[in-house]
A and B are shown apart, each in its own frame.
Chain A
Amino acid sequence: MTAIQSRAFVQIQNVFKEFETEGKGAAPIPVIDGVSMEIQEGEFVVYLGPSGCGKTTLMRIVGGLETATTGEVRLGGERVTGPDRRKGMVFQAYTSFPWLTVLQNIKFGTKYRDDVSETERNEIANHYLQLVGLEDFADFYVNRISGGMRQRVAIARTLAAAPDILLMDEPFGALDAQTRDFLQEQLLEICRAERKAVIFVTHDVEEAVFLADRVFMFSARPARVIEEIDVNGAIGSERMADTKETDAFFHLRNHVRDLMRDQARAIG
């Protein structure tokens, strides 16, 4: 079966995933149940679904950190076979390196690029340091800064590696509400400047609707796409701090929240 060459940047084609379980005779656990989708360049896509449904697993398959049991993922027409610099990843757990300062962490993102000189590495690091607004903390070790700042370091480091797609797994999941709101707005600004495809995983409905161009709503495990929500169509592509107070946002959020409740009920 040859893949149809569409022009979409990311093509997820009929992906199934089962995890083998320990123990004799134990059946494998199905986690992804036949997911297909296409994502365009510069598009911000959010995966929304109840905890444990398989969002992280699907995103890791796109990133090459996990292999699909059947089906495949193509990035720019090329089949994904493993992780590399083209698929940048930001994890929920803090991954900024404690032995490096904020600026050194960001510069680490350029370490394995062979397309830039040493001077350019420094310029790139400083550029992203400013983009995430951490100039005043450049020489701090990351154990001395807040969780929100550590996630900004991780985002800047990933961008410094110049990936084609940004994969983010609940990066703001461990942060308080205010920090979260602030980082959501900052992230949208950054993504507007970068024009990269983004897959952002969350189980927070409001976060999903606020950030996304499109939301993919997943079922409880094994994950299937229940509904694809065209957020731009419903509330427009402009997002500001007060977008969350508009009627359009409110209605869409309620609709998505109801979908989410149905799935949560399915788990029991």
Chain B
Amino acid sequence: MPGTAGRGRASGSGQALGALVAYRGATGGRANLTLGIAAFVLFIAVWYLIVFTGLVTERFLPYPGVVIGTMAQLLVTESFLNDVWISVARVWGAFLLSVVAAVPIGIWMSSYRIVGALVEPIVDFIRYLPVPALVPLLIIWFGIGEASKVAVLWMGTFFQLVLLIADDAKRIPREFVETGYTLGAKPRQITRSIVLPSMLPTMVDNLRITLGWCWTWIIVAEIVAANSGIGHYIWSMRRFLKTPEVMAGILVVGIIGLLTDQAVRIAHRRLFRYL
């Protein structure tokens, strides 16, 4: 059937390989998946060899099988699942608080020059403060309860996110806004019915990336000041030099991150079919 072959569905494997190695060549879903899995397999094989050849002692680097086995066991251990749940709740709670503040403020920053001029310099300054350095201060202010964890995550994401949102809003074509005016819309209506839908695809991408950062900060916060959560679990296993447990904990964080990221990507594709 001429003209029906989709891009990236090359007819021969040679052609498919050609497309993969070409500069900015077309990519196909299946080829990408195969390559992704191949990289994982290679990674584990190298890891295995390093332990097998005794390059690193098992005490510091257990076999991949041991770590995966430990992880499987952890995933049916109630206390660990509880830690996972607590971390997930902290991440999402703080993330949503961050989004709820950053979206309107970011849009105002781009819509009103006075808001941008007032807010941008201070936001720019705060976002360069290293979050770990803020942890002691935030503990002094908020204690070691949930509030301090949420505060750490919020500090670590809000100031980045608000600038990303402001940028997204600024980038929508001027003619879109002017079209709104000439169709009789008021500024608030333009924001709601033109600016927001227009920036939504890039905004969702930025939210996805920001959510990933939350997982960095939650582990930092839980290591320093918590008696629950995955970070706390990893840290307490370290004390007994239980390397498999430490690595399994890290792995779980990675897997949660990966799954969330993929879920948001799929949602993005469904939500923005028109792109």
The chain A residues found within 8 Å of chain B, CB to CB, are 63-65, 82-85, 87-89, 91, 93, 95, 97-99, 108-109, 111-113, 141-143, 157-158, 161, 163
Pairwise interchain contact A112-B183, C-beta atoms closer than 8 A: yes
Which parts of B176-200 form the interface with A (CB within 8 Å)? 176, 178-179, 181-186, 189, 193-194, 197-198, 200
Secondary structure dominating the interface of B: helix
Q: Is B275 an interface residue (CB 8 A)?
A: yes
Pairwise interchain contact B274-A158, C-beta atoms closer than 8 A: no
Known A65-B181, A95-B175, A112-B185; 12 more pairs at CB < 8 Å: A83-B182, A85-B182, A88-B183, A91-B178, A91-B179, A93-B173, A99-B200, A108-B193, A157-B183, A158-B183, A161-B182, A163-B182
Inter-chain CA distance A236–B16, complex, in Å, is: 62
Count A-B contacts at CB 8 Å. 66
Min distance, Cβ B19 to any Cβ of chain A, angstroms: 24
Inter-chain CA distance A109–B197, complex, in Å, is: 16
Query: Which one of B178, B186, B189, B275 contacts A98 once the chains associate, using CB atoms below 8 Å?
Result: B275
Query: Known contacts A93-B175, A141-B274: does B182 contact A63 (CB below 8 Å)?
Result: yes
Q: Which residue of A lies closest to B179 (CB)?
A: A95
Query: Which one of A87, A142, A143 contacts B182 once the chains associate, using CB atoms below 8 Å?
Result: A87
Q: Mark B18-33, 1 if CB is under 8 A from A, else 0.
A: 0000000000000000
Pairwise interchain contact A89-B184, C-beta atoms closer than 8 A: no
Which parts of B250-275 form the interface with A (CB within 8 Å)? 272-275
Which residues of A lie under 8 Å from residue B181 when comparing CB positions? 64-65, 82-84
Inter-chain CA distance A113–B184, complex, in Å, is: 7
Pairwise interchain contact B182-A84, C-beta atoms closer than 8 A: yes
Which residues of A lie under 8 Å from residue B194 when comparing CB positions? 97
Q: How many residues of B contact A (CB 8 A)?
A: 21
Inter-chain CA distance A143–B173, complex, in Å, is: 15
Min distance, Cβ B180 to any Cβ of chain A, angstroms: 9
* Selected A-B contacts with CB under 8 Å, 27 pairs: A83-B178, A83-B181, A84-B181, A84-B184, A89-B178, A91-B175, A91-B179, A93-B173, A95-B176, A95-B179, A97-B194, A97-B197, A97-B198, A98-B274, A99-B197, A99-B198, A99-B200, A99-B272, A111-B185, A111-B193, A112-B183, A112-B185, A141-B273, A141-B274, A158-B182, A158-B183, A163-B182
Min distance, Cβ B198 to any Cβ of chain A, angstroms: 7
Q: Which residue of B lies closest to A82 (CB)?
A: B181
Which residues of A lie under 8 Å from residue B275 when comparing CB positions? 98, 143
Which residues of B lie under 8 Å from residue A109 when comparing CB positions? 183
Which parts of B159-184 form the interface with A (CB within 8 Å)? 173, 175-176, 178-179, 181-184
Q: Which residue of B lies closest to A65 (CB)?
A: B178
Q: Which residue of B lies closest to A160 (CB)?
A: B183
Inter-chain CA distance A85–B175, complex, in Å, is: 15
